[in-house]
Structure 1
Amino acid sequence: MPTKIRPTLVLWGVRMGFMSYGWDAGVLGGVLQTSAFQSAMKTPDTTTTAMIVASFLLASWLGCVMAASPWSDRIGRKIWVCVGAFIQIIGTVISTSAYSTGQLIAGRVLIGVGNGFVVSTGPVYIAETTGTVKQRGPLVGILMGFACVGTACAYWIDFGFTYATGQVVWRLPVAMQIIWSILAIVLTFPNADSPRWYFLQGREDEGKLVLQQIYEDNSLANKVAAEIQTELKQEVGETLRFSDFFIDRSETKAATRIRDGVILVGVAYLMGINMIFYYMTTIFQVYIGLAPTTASVCSGAATTLLAIGAFVGSIFCEKSGRKKWLLWGSALQSVFMIAFVGLLSKAATSKACGSAAAAMLFGWILVFSPTWAPQPYIYISETMPLRHRHTGVGLGMSAQWLMAFLTVYAGPIGFENVGWKIWIWFAVFNVLGFPYVYFFLRESRGRSLEHMNELYNNNLAVASGAASPSEGSGSVTDIQEKA
């Protein structure tokens, strides 16, 4: 395994993996209603269509769970990303050549499993190879920005191909996902793994070598190495017990941190984002009553807005705490979603209400994109203890996909049976996000990964007698800020 790392290549490799995630999430949404797709899939009913779309989500959940398993940490962050991208390529080939719903679902399942590997490991890889504390949050959060760019690009490509004829209308957009997966492998594979993973595996010399390349300062690299070793000593014997997820008596509160992350991501994806973006064109066209071309343009504009907002929220996430971004997001999203539900209930009989409902949906996206889109990724990637980081992030990401599957699969069925009332479910979780963040989450901004244990137990110090980094102790956290 190579011991030379180029952090810029790592960043772009994982970003391409998230571009692939966004592409897969958005590409079918714009072609489901096309005659070419309907003809190839023999006009699937609502339940079958929901399964075609949602199979990717359930498989992504499976991929995240596999990446979170105890034995998975032996493989390393880099290999998981590359293997996931390779599996996505195989799944895309199967999906592109599909002439039955069964074959398409099989391809989507493979794409999903590979996606689960990438999205559960990529944020950890970046968080553990970022040199300064202030850069860590933005660099991890921007991953969601690239996922949103992937979704936006897929929607605009779909829109462009609506003017084409024949099977190319949907097959070529689906096939283009391969580009991002190939780039993810090419950019990621030549690099060494995370230095913290080397230390976790007892390969200290390789870990120190990688740290020296990241910091380009031997004294600083040695100090970070010492902090990593001390953190690992703190976590010796800290096993995860089922009872700890309810009452955690451990020193590092590993189960508490994993539980908080799982719930945080789960709530984020019960707010309606996947429902909106997987069926964006259908919502605008069928339920709000816009013309097909107008619906496609609105879908592309909405996904572009999501991408821009995710980048803005990630770049400026250090200007305020993680909790403040999430609290403001939940409060404002609740207003827009409740208004959207009320207007949607009248959209069938009033064109003005339909247009206003579309405006409220855009308002909701404008708020969600810089807050609940990137911030949960940042939070779970930095708050997990080193020995259980792969498990914590993997389970957190699995919550995303499980909740997304629930909403995407049940959503159109709910539309068919209860109409606009299905959106009340999402409004409830927009409201619940506020008290959950306020009462249960702890502010992680401004701490190095090795100082996160102290956030949950003040008696734990990275170095003997060292003060918390927030107290200006001259710790490695502070040194990294100046590096």
Structure 2
Amino acid sequence: MALKIHPRLVLWGVRMGFVSYGWDAGVLGGVLQTSAFQTAMKAPDTTTTAMIVASFLLASWLGCCIAASPWSDRQGRRVWVMVGAALQIVGTVVSCTAYSTGQLIAGRVLIGVGNGFVVSTGPVYIAETAGTAEQRGPLVGILMGCACIGTACAYWIDFGFTYASGQVIWRFPVAFQIFWSLLTLVLVFPNADSPRWYFLRNRPDEGRLILGQIYNDEATAERVASEIKTELHQEVGEKLRFSDFFIDKSETKAATRIRDGVILVGVAYLMGINMIFYYMTTIFQVYIGLPPSTSSVCSGAATTLLAIGSFVGSIYCEKGGRRKWLLWGSALQSIFMILFVALLAVNTKRASAAAAAMLFGWILVFSPTWAPLPYIYVSETMPLRHRHTGVGLSMSAQWLMAFLTVYAGPIGFEKVGWKIWIWFLVFNVIGFPYVYFFLRESRGRSLERMNELYNEKLVVGDSSNGSVADADGGAVKEDVVVEKV
């Protein structure tokens, strides 16, 4: 049977996987305070509730680590996405039938491991099957928008079911995640793996076949195949050494790229987004002091805003470059977070309403900048031989930091009150100098030309006319080719 790939099916399949991720990120946030959930789980205390929510995150970290291991690359991008979706279905069945916190946590652990597989390999699958460098950034960035759509839909479904009665109030929203995971399986299954993976596994004929289907042009497919082979040749013999993560003396700087990606994603998820994501209704209702119905509406509106902003940032990420979006985001987010913390400290009714407005302002800035851009950056800057490891470890940093904030955040708020938000403020501020001094601009480059960012002696393609040929056959302008820090 001949290999076939349908890039649009791949794209929509991975998107549904990210909708599933967003759904699980938001669905419990809207039902934790309902009497039906409290009755079924026997009124869990703050620590137990935090573990119910955060177990998904810790398990997602484990899933990313498994997908990042050296032997995992043998299975390919496609298989890991499908296995992850299947695990999510099993975990959802366990969760929605739970009558104890132990069973619910077990179900969320299975969902989390599956989610780790999807989130760590899905962006790589899309990046490696994107037709052009200009398409790659928006296509990968939109994945975070899909996650935000999942969260927003989950919150609105939660809000609608607050008018129902009985256990269906929380069980149906939790169970509906199966729908998104099934779509992921159905859409991804008919496709071959990415062409870069076939070349990496020393199967060039299959890689060329898939490239021909993606580009629908034999000359372009052959040129990209030649660039992939050149990239692999550049990376031959370069192994990851622990010392390289501190002082990298290798030509392609593989360890440096992985380290930069891990720190970038880690900082992004220490800015407070998961604390807001998972406890949106609780923040508005308990921390800010809004009525329950108003809190539900505000939660739905905030997650909807997050989804819209993520799409905007993804669509326009090619304008200005990755670094500028991240720098502006960090600066503006810091301002909103400072005001938010100050207003919480005042602790009056008017100050609480203003704090809610500042939180919306923070989401308005975060959603088009630090929400999609880290995904884009790590999926395109990793070297081919270590791409699965680099992206997997970067995504594991997301889940580890998210677990830390989601588990410790509510407990910290009980102990120190509004001061817990200073923790998130610090990382909003740290984001600016980190991006400015350490990250390099990757906009406009094909995946096979990323090595040049770290060693100018490694040139792929024809540069005789003062520009370097890109994977799509176009030319990259000089200001895009060399932007150094």
What residue number does 1:436 align with? 434
Q: How does 1:144-155 map to 2 (within 5 A)?
A: 144-155=144-155
Paired with 2:288 and 2:414, the residues of 1 have a C-alpha distance of: 14
TM-score (norm 1): 0.97
The structural deviation recorded for 1:334 is 0.1
Cα distance, 1:475–1:89 mapped onto 2, change above 3 Å:
closer
Q: How does 1:409-424 map to 2 (within 5 A)?
A: 409-424=407-422
Paired with 1:265 and 1:473, the residues of 2 have a C-alpha distance of: 30
What residue number does 1:266 align with? 266
Letter in 2 for 1:352: R
CA contact (8 A) 2:220 2:472 kept: no
Cα distance, 1:175–1:2 mapped onto 2, change above 3 Å:
farther
3-state SS of 1:317 partner: coil
Paired with 1:95 and 1:475, the residues of 2 have a C-alpha distance of: 47
Paired with 2:436 and 2:472, the residues of 1 have a C-alpha distance of: 26
Q: How does 1:472-483 map to 2 (within 5 A)?
A: 472-479=467-474
Q: How does 1:11-410 map to 2 (within 5 A)?
A: 11-347=11-347, 350-410=348-408
CA contact (8 A) 1:131 1:480 kept: no
CA contact (8 A) 2:467 2:475 kept: no
Letter in 2 for 1:254: A
- 1:106-145, Cα deviation, whole Å (9 max, x unpaired): 0000000000000000000000000111000000000000
3-state SS of 1:318 partner: coil
Paired with 2:2 and 2:396, the residues of 1 have a C-alpha distance of: 30
- 1:202-260, Cα deviation, whole Å (9 max, x unpaired): 11000000000000000110000000001000000110010000000000000000000
* Unpaired segments ≥5 residues, structure 2: 477-485
Cα distance, 1:461–1:156 mapped onto 2, change above 3 Å:
same
CA contact (8 A) 1:313 1:369 kept: yes
What residue number does 1:3 align with? 3
Cα distance, 1:474–1:453 mapped onto 2, change above 3 Å:
closer
- 1:367-400, Cα deviation, whole Å (9 max, x unpaired): 0000000000000000000000000000000000
CA contact (8 A) 1:2 1:191 kept: no
The structural deviation recorded for 1:320 is 1.1
CA contact (8 A) 1:3 1:210 kept: yes
Letter in 1 for 2:343: L
Cα distance, 1:298–1:208 mapped onto 2, change above 3 Å:
same
What residue number does 1:455 align with? 453
> Is residue 460 of structure 2 the alignment partner of residue 467 of structure 1?
no
3-state SS of 1:251 partner: coil
Letter in 2 for 1:391: T
- RMSD, matched Cα: 1.3
The structural deviation recorded for 1:461 is 1.4
Paired with 2:274 and 2:289, the residues of 1 have a C-alpha distance of: 21
CA contact (8 A) 1:260 1:440 kept: yes
CA contact (8 A) 2:85 2:185 kept: yes
Ranges of 4+ aligned residues in structure 1 off by more than 6 Å: none
Paired with 1:456 and 1:3, the residues of 2 have a C-alpha distance of: 35
Paired with 1:318 and 1:399, the residues of 2 have a C-alpha distance of: 25
Cα distance, 1:474–1:59 mapped onto 2, change above 3 Å:
closer
Letter in 2 for 1:441: L
Cα distance, 1:475–1:129 mapped onto 2, change above 3 Å:
closer
Letter in 2 for 1:160: G
CA contact (8 A) 1:451 1:462 kept: yes
How many residues get paired? 477
Letter in 2 for 1:36: A
TM-score (norm 2): 0.97
Cα distance, 1:16–1:456 mapped onto 2, change above 3 Å:
same
Paired with 1:321 and 1:342, the residues of 2 have a C-alpha distance of: 33
The structural deviation recorded for 1:475 is 4.7
Paired with 1:288 and 1:387, the residues of 2 have a C-alpha distance of: 48
Letter in 2 for 1:192: A
The structural deviation recorded for 1:479 is 3.0
Paired with 2:3 and 2:464, the residues of 1 have a C-alpha distance of: 32
